[in-house]
Structures are given as structure tokens and as C-alpha cells.
Structure 1
Amino acid sequence: MESAEKIARDYLAAVEARDLPRAKAFLAEDMVMLFPGGKRPPSLEQLVTNSKGRYQRIGKTIEGVDLCPAGDATIAYCYGTLHGVWPDGEAFDGIRFIDRFEIRDGKIQSQWVWNDSGEHRLARGGRN
């Protein structure tokens, strides 16, 4: 199960660095992503494109990873806070997140994401 934590952390680091070829190396061919609002980007490229209107920059401070065996897979829950810059240039920090990864045979089968960024946008009057 230790390798599942490394896979999740290394994948998140590659996505944050926008090293999409490296990030894709961690993914199963039929990997499924599910983001807040029920959004299911069909690819990492589309995920990055979609985020451009939401943030100038975003990163994750991982506070921990909990691992759970699930048959022939391992579920890795990564949690912590988001930090970055909104499109209007205002910095943010301390927004909670959880990413749930299903990892099988060394590849990420799914990533489900929860975070409070929508709550923070509402508190800013709906501005990104």
C-alpha cells in the first residue's frame, strides 16, 4: 500500500507542475475523473483547460494520505488545503480538499475530488 501513496502524491505533483506526460504515465487507459459539481473532464488536457477560468495558479498542500485495501485495489485518500491565485490576481490559501484515488496494478483507475473552493467563491461575491 505504500506505493499507492507514492503514486497519488507523484501524480498530484506532476499535475500541479503541468507536466502532463508524466502525470498521464500514472493513469489507467480508462481512468475516470469526477470533480465538484459532477464535472467529468475527459482528459488531463481538458482538466487544465477548464481550470484556466477558475484560477491563475493552484496547488495542494497535502496534510496526509489514508490508505484502504479494496479487493485487488488500494483506495488512497489525499487531504489537505489548496493555495493559489484567483483569476483577478487575489491570492488564496487554506481551502480544504480531499482527492480519492482508486489504484490497481500501479495505475490510477479513478480520481474523485471534493473541495470548498465554491464556498470561497461565494464568499467573494461569486467572483473567481
Structure 2
Amino acid sequence: MTAQSPRESHQDTLSAAEIVDEYLRMLMIPDPVTARRYTSSDLRIRFTGGRQMSDPAECAAFNAQRYAWVKKRIEKTETVDNGQSDEQIVYSLGTLYGAWPDGRLFEGNRYVDRYVLRDGLIVEMDVWNDSAEWLLTQNLEKTA
């Protein structure tokens, strides 16, 4: 019998949904180093607009450009039975709240994230939210 690392033994006790929730909690601090514990080395991230990333630190850097600060209010975390024992699909749904770069506060910005996990690690993350639509509306109001 081989000894497990603290990471492996901790993740073995977590469900796929709990792994996603903990990953998001770390990512929103932001603490991408700790968030990385829940991801595979071949992680593929796709943000709104088709932005490709491969590390939680890239998510944190993108959020730092788009928002003064941002957090997720998780409303539901759902695991989908896709019939594959080696793969779990998890959706996280809720809203974003925070401040735009100019300091204006916002809340109620809907998001949906889709995760694929293999062997207890996140291998894919897809992110959709209303931020682009909200920013477009704000820019149109400024020019009107």
C-alpha cells in the first residue's frame, strides 16, 4: 500500500461538486496557487468570448483587469450523470457581485460554469456570465 499525499487524501473525501466549490472559493479570494491543487496539469479553461487559458492564475489576472474586485455567489452546484465512471461533469450557477474598475458596485450578474473532472481533478472549465452584456450596455448609455 502506498501513502497518499495530503492533496490526494483530502480530494478522495470530496465529491466532484465539493471540489468545484472549493476550487471556486480559492479562485475568488483570489488564491490561484491553492486553487491549482484542484486542477489537472493539462487544464483547459475557456472564458466568455472564447478566451483560452490553462492556469487558475490566468483567471485571476483576467478578473483583475475586468473588475476592481469580484466574487461569486453560488446558488447551485449540480453534478450531471453522463454515464462515464471516469469523468464527472459539474455545473456551478449563481451570480457575480463586486465593483467595476471605476468603483461602481454591481450584483446580480448571472454566471454558469461547466467543469469536467477526471480522477478528482478539474480538466476543463467553461465560463459564461453577463459581464460583457453589462459592459456593452454601460458603454452605449455613455455614448447616448
Specify the TM-score bucket, using the shorter chain as the normaliser: over 0.9
Identity of aligned residues (%): 34
Tell me what 2:103 maps to.
89
Partner AA of 2:30 in structure 1 = R
Partner-residue secondary structure (3-state), 1:40: strand
Unaligned runs of 5+ in 2: 1-13
Tell me what 2:130 maps to.
116
Tell me what 1:22 maps to.
34
Distance 1:46 1:8 in 2: 17
Distance 2:113 2:91 in 1: 6
Partner AA of 2:88 in structure 1 = T
Tell me what 1:62 maps to.
74
Partner AA of 2:81 in structure 1 = P
Provide the TM-score with structure 1 as the length reference.
0.92
Offset of 1:9 from its aligned partner?
A: 0.3
Give the structure with the larger helix fraction.
Answer: 2
Unaligned runs of 5+ in 1: none
Tell me what 1:98 maps to.
112
Tell me what 2:7 maps to.
none
Partner-residue secondary structure (3-state), 2:66: coil
Partner AA of 1:26 in structure 2 = Y
Tell me which of the two structures has the higher relative contact order, counting C-alpha pairs closer than 8 angstroms and 6 or more residues apart: 1
Misfit runs of 4+, over 4 Å: none
Distance 1:69 1:97 in 2: 21
Distance 1:6 1:109 in 2: 15
Q: CA RMSD in A?
A: 1.5
Q: How many corresponding residue pairs?
A: 126
Tell me what 2:25 maps to.
13
